[in-house]
């Protein structure tokens, strides 16, 4: 028999963590993994942009989406101190760093703060970057009261850098002019 999507158990503003403990839907832990989920949903939109294949980063995005599911499951669980995130290692951070370095080799030097946007793909990267930063803030807030594997923060920090560079890379590759912040505008 197929299970129902609606369980009615959250109708009064609570949800279950992995393991069954009930918490408020605005609990700091729910905020942390919920923002990771929001980021992954935005990546779903980004992943279906046909120009992403031209950047060579479509495979990296798919890998990131899977890693974010691992992080979300980890954050939805009350972990004992020292518990690592399943399937998240330094190699995952290094993949992001290599990808950043590959793209950055083809970019002109910075002339100032780059405004978000340019192409649609770059604008989507900027949205993913800002949601990543918010997810990072939510995880830091959770880490004030519960153990969080430091690898989570390291990965999210590098991921926001990845999206920034991918946005710039796409604009340059597709000949969209970078717009720089003009404080006197």
Task: Note the pLDDT tens digit of each residue in 162-171.
Answer: 999 999 999 9
> What pLDDT score does 51 carry?
77
> What pLDDT score does 176 carry?
86
> What pLDDT score does 10 carry?
64
> What pLDDT score does 17 carry?
65
Q: Which CATH number fits domain 20-107+116-173: 1.10.1530.10, 2.70.70.10, 2.170.8.10, 1.20.1200.10?
A: 1.20.1200.10
Tell me, letter by letter, the H, E, C secondary structure of the chain: CCCCCCCCCCCCCEEECECCCEEECCCHHHHHHHHHHHHHHHHHHHHCCHHHHHHCCHHHHHHHHHHHHHHHHHHCECCCCCCCCCCCCHHHHHHHHHHHHHHHCCCCCCCCCECCCCCHHHHHHHHHHHHHHHHHHHHHHHHCCCCCCHHHHHHHHHHHHHHHHHHHHHHHHCCCCCCECCCCC
> What pLDDT score does 12 carry?
74
In this prediction the pTM is 0.90
Low-confidence ranges of the chain (pLDDT < 50): none
Domain ranges of the chain: 20-107+116-173
Whole-number Å distance between alpha carbons of 162 and 99: 7
> What pLDDT score does 110 carry?
80
């Amino acid at each position: 028999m197929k299970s129902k999507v609606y369980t009615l158990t959250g109708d009064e503003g609570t949800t279950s963590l992995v393991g069954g403990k009930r918490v408020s839907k605005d609990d700091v832990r729910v905020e942390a993994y919920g923002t990771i989920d929001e980021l992954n949903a935005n990546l779903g939109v980004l992943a279906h942009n046909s120009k992403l294949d031209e950047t060579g980063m479509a495979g990296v995005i798919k890998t990131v989406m899977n890693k974010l599911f691992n992080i979300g499951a980890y954050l939805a669980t009350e972990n004992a101190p020292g518990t690592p995130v399943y399937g998240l290692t330094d190699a995952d951070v290094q993949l992001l760093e290599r990808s950043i370095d590959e793209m950055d080799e083809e970019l002109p030097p910075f002339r100032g703060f780059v405004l978000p946007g340019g192409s649609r793909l770059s604008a989507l990267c900027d949205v993913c970057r800002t949601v990543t930063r918010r997810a990072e803030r939510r995880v830091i807030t959770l880490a004030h009261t519960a153990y969080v594997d430091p690898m989570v923060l390291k990965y999210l920090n590098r991921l926001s850098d990845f999206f920034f560079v991918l946005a710039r890379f796409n604009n340059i590759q597709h000949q969209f002019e970078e717009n720089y912040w003009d404080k006197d505008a």
